Amino acid sequence: MSRIGIFLDRDGTINQEVDYLRSPDELHLLEGAAAGIRELNQCGCRVFVITNQSGIARGLLTEQQLDAIHQKLRSELKAENAYLDAIYYCPHHPEGNPPYRMVCDCRKPNTGMIDRAVKEFQVDIKQSFVVGDRLLDIQTGKNVGAQTILVLTGYGKQELQYCSDHNVQIDFVAENLYDAVTHIKNVIHCEPHNTLSK
């Protein structure tokens, strides 16, 4: 299973949606998120976060502040015996402040973050999944040829309506991340086994 990658959006998917989350104190895991990630770990899947963080380009937070947020995320997951194989983020925005003002290949729905994971972890993208609460996440998954899951947490419900209105095809719609993980396990025929967390 180690070549299967599960690419998770962060805000509204793993943790509560906060408009430009800027502090570790604002990070709160959604119910069932850590348990879902733990089960993916136990299945032997690679689990990644891919997150647009244009707040850096907009001057709302620094990369150091983002690192502190991600340290808390890892700590909260570790407390639930879950872990992430890697966190990828895009700090750019075409209308942001230098040196982050650019049109890049990593800002979703572009595929740069996933491309890095595929290269660094030898992920088989055709067997992999992209999970998030935004149309951008679905588009990103389609752009790399992965299976797509929209969760109804965060912006998911309004994004589902938009996708429906514009005939955007989604492979699966899940109530939350844990529901998405249950679907993934059924697709890849995984029965979790206990494993040591990182």
pLDDT of 141 > 90? The answer is yes
**Does 68 map to a domain?**
yes
Catalytic site residue from 11, 133, 137, 179: 11
Residue 9 a catalytic site member = yes
Mean pLDDT of the chain: 95
**Does 55 map to a domain?**
yes
pLDDT of 198 > 70? The answer is no
DSSP state string for the chain: -TT-EEEE-SBTTTB---TT--SGGG--BPTTHHHHHHHHHHHT-EEEEEEE-TTTTTTSS-HHHHHHHHHHHHHHHHTTT---SEEEEE--BTTS-TTSBS--SSSTTS-HHHHHHHHHHT--GGG-EEEESSHHHHHHHHHHT-EEEEESTTTHHHHHHHHHHTT---SEEESSHHHHHHHHHHHHT---------
**Does 193 map to a domain?**
no
Residue 67 a catalytic site member = no
pLDDT, one tens digit per residue, over 45-104 is 999 999 999 999 999 999 999 999 999 999 999 999 999 999 999 999 999 999 999 999
pLDDT, one tens digit per residue, over 110-135 is 999 999 999 999 999 999 999 999 99
Q: What is the pTM of this model?
A: 0.95
pLDDT of 196 > 50? The answer is no
pLDDT of residue 64: 97
**Does 153 map to a domain?**
yes
Catalytic site residue from 9, 85, 133, 179: 9
pLDDT of residue 1: 59
pLDDT of 193 > 80? The answer is no
The residues, any chain, with a CB within 8 Å of residue 174's CB and separated by 6 or more, are: 131, 149, 150, 151, 152, 180, 182, 183
Percent of the chain with pLDDT over 90: 93
pLDDT band at 107 (very low <50, low <70, confident <90, very high): very high
**Does 59 map to a domain?**
yes
**Does 142 map to a domain?**
yes
pLDDT of 194 > 70? The answer is no
Q: Which residue has the tokens 């994971």?
A: 117
The residues, any chain, with a CB within 8 Å of residue 84's CB and separated by 6 or more, are: 37, 47, 48, 49, 73, 74, 77
Structural domain range at position 76: 6-188
**Does 198 map to a domain?**
no
Question: CATH number for the domain including 79?
Answer: 3.40.50.1000
pLDDT of residue 192: 58
DSSP state string for 162-185: HHHHTT---SEEESSHHHHHHHHH
pLDDT of 159 > 90? The answer is yes
**Does 52 map to a domain?**
yes
pLDDT, one tens digit per residue, over 39-48 is 999 999 999 9
pLDDT of 191 > 80? The answer is no
pLDDT of residue 19: 87
Domain count, the chain: 1
